[in-house]
Chain A
Amino acid sequence: MFPADLTYTPGHEWVRVDGDTATVGITDYAQEQLGDIVFVSLPQVGDSVEAGSVIGELESTKSVSDLFAPIAGEVLVRNEALEANPELVNSDPYGEGWLVKMRVHDDDATAGLMDAQAYEASLTQ
């Protein structure tokens, strides 16, 4: 149900690490819970963020949710397509609906995160 090549936070973000770059998004479960996303606010390129800090907002027709940094790092790229098409987060949360790419400094950055199986299990608790 959840892609096996990603790691997950209890706050429903996913992280895909490729070398020293991590791509971050929210899970299919999270987008389903939020409903139609109509506005995405993301951190600035160059921002250094701490794991767990608020780095943006996801606003749906009904409510607004904070976006938390799943790991520490420096923001390299924002998904600028979300400015015009925030619904990509709903329609393709693991693909075109990614949020930011970050440079990670720690080889073990995702050590505290969950694999797909653990994340799925956490949803049914």
Chain B
Amino acid sequence: MVLLRSPLHDRHLALGAKLAEFGGWEMPLEYAGGGVLAEHKAVREGVGVFDVSHLGKAVVRGPGAVDFVNGCFTADLGRIGPGQAQYTMCCDADGGVVDDLIAYVRSGDDVFLMPNAANTADVVSRLAAAAPAGIEVVDQHRDFAVLAVQGPQSGQVLDRLGVAADAGYMSFATQQIEGQALTVCRTGYTGERGYELVVAAGAVLAVWDAVIEAGGPVSPRACGLGARDTLRTEMGYPLHGNDLSTEISPVMARAGWAVGWAKPAFWGKEALEAQRAAGEVRLSRGLLAGGRGIPRPGMEVQDAGGTVIGSVTSGTFSPTLRKGIALALLDPDVALDAEVFVDVRGRQEAFTVVKPPFVDPSTR
């Protein structure tokens, strides 16, 4: 398969990026002179910039676009207005998660979507198939680049670039950097205060350069998707394909907060209501290492007697805690604070069942 590349590909090569495949795109994993730990720390303590142009972009527009999307995806768009964004999920009829994504309401007739790279085509085709006459669904995956400026000093970077940084969490507005129009969103996937900049693909070089060369004490470090993964895992944010999938529903992932249960309809509603009422499925929890074991996706979770009670969906080393952390699906009767064991390549490593986040978020 030929991998797609960001319009910033040459910039990444110049920065010595180690590249890896993400959802069909060849993207930076980490940069020379940095590495996951240094990049993670930059975002927790200063500011980092990620190229996340592989993320999908699509628009649903036409009379009643918001109402149409609201009848498809899980979250209740009635809770936000124009200029606000919302985390939501696209489920199938069985309640499995086709994708989790952010919906940006530009007006009642215009909703911008940011799905995961690998799922964009699927989400777009499901919406297009369901759309009534007058509503169009357009895949804009290659039309825009996305930069995520994240960290406690991210607001100062935007200030320096002459961009208003005072928007509320999950709000967005059109602004300019270097004369280029872009959408600045107070969103992110790191647990820190941060902004995502949606820029026309042809204009992103100037914006990237301006952000990277902001200079002074608040010059952001270029950060790769390796650090993005450790940052999001510390927050307990799910990753589609690991912690959410067509086999792992919002109920199982404990993402019911992103489901508008009172809405008259959304895809998968009946199946999810039945699953929630039955209470038989495995549920997501956090696991915090007692020792030095680092859990990885797919590893079995056992109780003290050796009975398998679940499996790891995401697992890594937490750079902040300097311990192994995991998200795991566990049998519903496994209690918080219980001691469980993860089979780490034949070693039984002890973990405590916890409620994520593992590190306090500072998004607001």
List chain A positions with a Cβ less than 8 A from chain B: 35-36, 38-39, 57, 59-62, 64, 87, 90
Contact = CB atoms under 8 A, between A and B. Distances in A.
A35 B230 CA distance: 14
Given A39-B292, A39-B294, A39-B317, A62 B35 contact: no
A72 B25 CA distance: 44
Contacts, number: 38
18 contacts: A35-B18, A35-B29, A36-B36, A36-B38, A38-B294, A38-B317, A39-B292, A39-B294, A61-B36, A61-B37, A62-B29, A62-B36, A62-B226, A62-B316, A64-B296, A64-B345, A87-B37, A90-B35
A59 B294 contact: yes
10 closest A-B pairs by CB: A61-B36, A38-B317, A36-B37, A36-B35, A36-B36, A61-B317, A59-B294, A39-B292, A39-B294, A62-B226
Interface string B294-310: 10100000000000000
Contacts of B294: 38-39, 59, 64
Of the listed residues A39, A57, A64, the one surrounded by the most CB atoms of chain B closer than 10 A to its CB is: A39
A35 to B, nearest CB: 6
A62 B36 CA distance: 9
Contacts of B345: 57, 64
Contacts of A62: 29, 36, 226, 316
Interface string B342-354: 0001000000000
Contact of A35 (B35, B292, B296): B35
Contacts of B38: 36
Nearest to B18: A35
Contacts of B292: 39
B30 interface: yes
Contacts of A64: 294, 296, 345
B319 interface: yes
Contacts of A90: 35
A78 B312 CA distance: 31
If over half of B's interface residues share one DSSP class (helix, strand or loop), that class is named, otherwise mixed; here it is mixed
Given A62-B226, A62-B316, A64-B294, 14 more contacts: A35-B30, A36-B38, A38-B37, A38-B322, A39-B294, A39-B317, A59-B294, A60-B36, A61-B36, A61-B37, A61-B226, A61-B316, A62-B29, A64-B345
Nearest to A61: B36
A87 B29 CA distance: 18
A66 to B, nearest CB: 9
B35 A59 contact: no
B296 A61 contact: no
Nearest to B293: A39
B315 to A, nearest CB: 11
Interface in B33-69: 35-38
Contacts of B37: 36, 38, 61, 87
Nearest to B292: A39
Nearest to B32: A32
